[in-house]
A and B are shown apart, each in its own frame.
Chain A
Amino acid sequence: MSRKNSTKLGALALSMMLGITANGQAAAEATIVIVNLDGPGEGFNDPTPASPVGGNKGKTLGAQRLIAFQHAADIWGDTLDSNVTIRIQAAFNPLGPGILGSAGAISVSRDFSGIGQFPGAEFPATRYGAALANKRAGTDLEPASNDINAQFSSNFNFYLGLNNKHGALPDLVAVLLHEFGHGLNFQTFYNRSNGAPFQGHTDIYARFLFDRTIGLTWPDMSNPQVAASSINFGNLVWSGDTVTDAVPVVLFLGNPQVDVLSPPAIARSYQFGTAAFGPPIGSPDVTDPVVAAQDAADAAGPVTTDGCSAFTNAPAIAGNIALIERGTCGFALKARNATNAGASAVIIYNNAANAGGAPPGMADDGVNGQFVTIPAVSFTRADGLAIVAQLGNGVTARLIVDPNVRAGADPEGRARMYAPNPLVGGSSVSHYDSVASRNLLMEPAINPDLTHEVSAPDDLTHELFLDIGWFPDSDLDGVANSSDRVANSDFSPRIAFSGIDTGVPNQLLDDGSTMSDRMANAAAAVRNDRQFVGAVTKLAEGWRREGLITQAQKVAIVSAAARSKFR
């Protein structure tokens, strides 16, 4: 039974560190508090009367906001374990139109060790967000500072209920779960544009970003390689085992994909956007030649490639995949015209005005979408023009659902991260890929069908947190449950037998058990008082030899055991 000197913690200090409850058992999970930064009469303190909504019983607008915040915080608090209180400083302010709010870590730390049995940073020269760093250090690395900053819009009409029945309104709890997720380290701190890590050091999130094309994780790449990886659509995946193990129970089989099969010069899988109208990809699978649609250059559309009028080459389009340029009229009208021409599917690529844009999601215009009966997808301009350039050689494409690949995972079953190409500025890799199905909390869009669950089988966020070091620790002693000899230790301040207090501090040992745990185990393994005293004596003598207790303390332990009633 080896022990580290660092485990020689006084009972009082141990109790304080672990947040011991009155009965000596540690309170698991994490405590997350909202630090209200709003002034009188504003934000969380807004006195505007409010009626209860969806389980939120606050009587003012401000109170309901605070209750929703705390509710979201408690969901994370019930999910994660930390012996350090997580403090989210928050305020509601008037923000520009369209801005709902923001949250993120207040600081990042690297190269910290842990106190007692807490492991500290798992990797050197690797940044951790404040809350995760504190959890692994076992102490607040910046006690004068809060851990997460949140600012939300006071002039936006959120749904403030707690029951997820938000209707058409954005659900504040879901938005907060997402943003708090970033604050809890669901984010990288790299600059995606140039591939540089923040101030020269990688971060724990980036350590799990794996590029399938070059077979490297981000810390092992050069900056240009990272920049290329961040737009390697479909090929940037999460390498953590916990997420990968959960993928089969979270993501559905059936990955939609668009592939060009020939000619070889452009044959590959393509990034695409989907449409809010018409059947989805795979209904049915389509494999056909691609033909550029031609229409009149008229008032409906000034060029012959925009598909805004009835096609003039409808016979050539019939039974094939129509290729149309974006612009002038809506996506739904273009797709309707393709349907009318007998196309089997339609690809709409970005026009010059959107040359730098990613493939857009295509909304219905409320008029034409109902007449679209073929799958429609969007492409970047570069990809569209590449096809145009090869039409003379005969281009064949397919729009299919691969039944063997999960939506949002790669063929090897790893979760895909959001890496759109061309670069849509920002750290988009700090999200799961939006092709995921079911929808995930940490996709870039906070989809209205999200639940408030953050773990498998409903979600993959908690699993990612486990991968980056939010290890389960039920008794908050710094030893992960998986290697903790006693996952719910007895943290009574002093060793005692049947109410007889030995006066000897109850110390945490390096296997996650305490001296009191060991005494209880000894009691369970013997059959009478004599054997019990013998087992206690053996344990106490071992601790004395290792310098954990003094001779006098050993005597006190053995004496108390001898005076106690066995069991």
Chain B
Amino acid sequence: MRHTLLGMASCALALSLGVVTADAADNSVKFKATRDIAVDSVTGKFRKPSVAEVEKLVADLRAMTRRPVAAEMASTAGNTGGITAKLDGEFGGVVLARPRADGSIETRCVFTFEEGAAFLGLVADATK
């Protein structure tokens, strides 16, 4: 049924997570995973991502949440007088997934790296 009341952050799990700070989008910041978000190709079960997988995740998430800086330009269609700015595939929503404690999967659409990193349990790795 569709009557389920969901709180504003009803998809979060119980475990305490580190806080992703404003410098999260800084490319020099390294991250580590605190959640089981990768699917093991052998067992099919969720596990923590490897270092390489975290690096791939961070790179993809950064790329998909990047904000465009393209300059505006006159539209090419005649007689409409419009001004267009290309977003180059940026400025889109990014859908993420992580497992719940009961094994089901919860999703979240985010628009920034910080929001995505928090949802996926990525925290700045102070050792790197």
Interface of A toward B, CB cutoff 8 Å: 95-115, 120-121, 127, 133, 137, 139-145, 149, 151, 156-157, 168-170, 175, 178-179, 182-183, 187, 189, 191, 198-199, 233, 252, 256, 271-276, 280-281, 326-328, 330-332, 351, 353-366, 377-378, 407, 418, 420, 424-428, 430-431, 433-439, 443-451
B-to-A contact residues, CB < 8 Å: 1-19, 21, 37-39, 49, 53-54, 56-61, 64-65, 67, 72, 75-77, 79-98, 100-116, 118, 120
Q: A96-B58, A97-B57, A142-B76 are in contact. Are A363 and B2 (CB under 8 A)?
A: no
Who on chain A is nearest to B64 by CB? A102
CB distance from B108 to the nearest CB of A (A): 6
Chain B residues, Cβ within 8 Å of A139: 77, 80
Q: Say what secondary structure dominates the interface of chain B.
A: loop
The answer to whether A449 touches B77, judged by C-beta atoms less than 8 angstroms apart, is no
Q: How far is the CA of A434 from the CA of B8 in the complex (A)?
A: 5
Indicate if the CB atoms of B86 and A106 lie closer than 8 Å: yes
**CB proximity of B49 to chain A, nearest CB, Å:** 5
Whether the Cβ atoms of A149 and B89 lie closer than 8 Å is: yes
Q: How far in angstroms is the closest Cβ of chain B from A19?
A: 17
Name 7 interchain pairs, CB-CB below 8 A, sorted by A. A98-B120, A105-B91, A256-B5, A274-B7, A354-B19, A426-B111, A433-B8
Q: A109-B84, A110-B83 are in contact. List 9 more A-B contacts (CB 8 A).
A: A97-B53, A114-B80, A137-B77, A145-B86, A169-B105, A273-B12, A361-B9, A425-B110, A445-B6
> How far apart are the CA atoms of A179 and B56 in the complex, in Å?
22
User: Of B2, B9, B49, B112, which contacts A426 at CB under 8 A?
Assistant: B112
Chain B nearest Cβ from A450, distance in angstroms: 8
Contact A438 B3 (CB under 8 A): yes
Most chain B CB inside 10 Å of its own CB: which residue of A357, A361, A428: A361
- B16 and A351: CB pair below 8 A? yes
Cβ B39 vs Cβ A439 within 8 A? no
In the complex, are the beta carbons of A109 and B83 less than 8 A apart?
A: yes
A560 to B83, CA, bound (A): 46
Do the beta carbons of B8 and A357 come within 8 Å of each other?
no
Contact between A363 and B13 (Cβ–Cβ < 8 Å)?
yes
Among A127, A140, A179, A353, point to the contact of B16 (Cβ < 8 A): A353
Asked whether A103 and B82 contact (CB < 8 A) given A141-B75, A437-B2, A447-B6, the answer is no
Chain B's closest residue to A121 (CB) is: B82
Chain B: minimal CB distance from A437 (Å): 5
Pick from A104, A114, A428: contact of B90, CB below 8 A. Answer: A104
CA gap between A145 and B85 in the complex, in Å:
12
In the complex, the 10 A-B pairs of residues with the closest C-beta atoms, listed nearest first? A104-B92, A112-B82, A96-B57, A274-B7, A361-B10, A425-B114, A426-B111, A426-B112, A360-B12, A97-B38
